[in-house]
Amino acid sequence: MVKLRETPIEIGKEEFTEIGHYLINSIADFLETIRKGSVTPAESSEQLQEILGSASLPENGTSASEVMARA
């Protein structure tokens, strides 16, 4: 029988908020520069098409706030 290890998370509100703000700022910085980078470092367009398949994208997008509400 496998014994599961239980470890409580001990983090205060202030530290959690600070880490959350850092994470959001890091994501915002990434989004600011994403267009400058490569989509992929090595795969050819044929390899990417094989990975992605041929399904079409949705006709209508979903707002970021709606996606987060469902997460």
Torsion of Cα atoms, 23 then 29 then 71 then 54, to 10°:
-140
pLDDT at 65 over 90: no
Per-residue pLDDT tens over the stretch 1-43: 677 777 667 788 999 899 999 999 999 999 999 888 877 778 8
Q: Where are the alpha helices (DSSP H) in the chain?
A: 13-33, 45-52, 64-70
What pTM was estimated for this model as a whole?
0.46
